[in-house]
């Protein structure tokens, strides 16, 4: 296939079919922290199209702060059950508020409540506090819609390079690299 977004969509659909994975759309997003070190964590990939790869998160989380400082990020996906790896390098930009609200409305109520009552990555006194805060918030929002907090949203990663690796048992992995070139993509093959 000569178009990376089409190839990604095809691979993603293949990986989703009968997937044994609990988190079927998990991708590792890597950012550069204040000390200049790469940091990675898994997020749920919401969409992939011509404009980029979309995920949602706390905007004031470590990854959100990293992206504001340096929007160059990497996404890594490994679907072992089908033998595919995808690596994306690109530039992240924040989603428009209406897009963030639309994604918020697709989340489970428990996910919305968790997001509304915690500050991701901030220190926690003890596990009991975690459960107490969650139950208090659950009671507060019982039977009511949970509004999207201002600190929650999403990012779209506009790719500058996408690499596809097809795993081979004999270790002769097939690697295809697509790089942005003008208004299109330049494809090259890489050795295993």
Mean pLDDT for 145-155 is 95
Does pLDDT of 188 surpass 70? yes
| pTM score above 0.85 | yes
The pLDDT assigned to 45 comes to 98
DSSP for 107-160 reads S-HHHHHHHHH--TT---S-HHHHHHHHHHHHHHHTTS--PPPTTEEEEEEEEE
Domain 4-105+148-190 superfamily per CATH: Electron Transport, Fmn-binding Protein; Chain A (2.30.110.10)
The pLDDT assigned to 107 comes to 95
The pLDDT assigned to 86 comes to 98
CATH 2.30.110.10 residue spans of the chain: 4-105+148-190
Structure tokens at 149: 């907090």
> Which pairs with CB-CB distance under 8 Å and at least 24 residues apart come from 174-182?
176/7, 178/4
Does pLDDT of 1 surpass 70? no
Burial class (CB in 10 A: 0-12, 13-18, 19+), 172: exposed
pLDDT tens figures, 96-113: 999 999 999 999 999 998
Mean pLDDT for 6-25 is 94
Does pLDDT of 138 surpass 70? yes
Lowest mean pLDDT among 5-19, 26-40, 126-140, 162-176: 126-140
Mean pLDDT for 147-176 is 95
Mean pLDDT for 54-71 is 96
What's phi and psi for 151, nearest 5 deg? -90, 10
């Amino acid at each position: 296939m000569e178009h990376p977004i089409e190839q990604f969509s095809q691979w993603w659909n293949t990986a989703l079919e009968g997937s044994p994975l609990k988190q079927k759309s998990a991708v590792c997003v890597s950012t550069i922290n204040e000390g200049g070190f790469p940091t990675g964590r898994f997020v749920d990939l919401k969409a992939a199209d011509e404009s980029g790869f979309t995920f949602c998160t706390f905007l004031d989380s470590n990854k959100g702060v990293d992206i504001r400082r340096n929007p160059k990020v990497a996404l890594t996906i490994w679907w072992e059950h089908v033998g595919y790896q995808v690596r994306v390098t690109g530039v992240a930009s924040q989603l428009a508020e209406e897009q963030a609200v639309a994604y918020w409305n697709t989340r489970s109520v428990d996910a919305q409540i968790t997001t509304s009552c915690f500050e991701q990555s901030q220190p926690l006194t003890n596990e009991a506090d975690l459960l107490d805060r969650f139950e208090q918030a659950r009671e507060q929002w019982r039977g009511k819609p949970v509004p999207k907090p201002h600190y929650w949203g999403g990012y779209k990663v506009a790719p500058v390079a996408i690499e596809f690796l097809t795993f081979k048992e004999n270790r002769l992995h097939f690697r295809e690299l697509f790089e942005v070139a003008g208004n299109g993509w330049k494809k090259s093959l890489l050795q295993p």
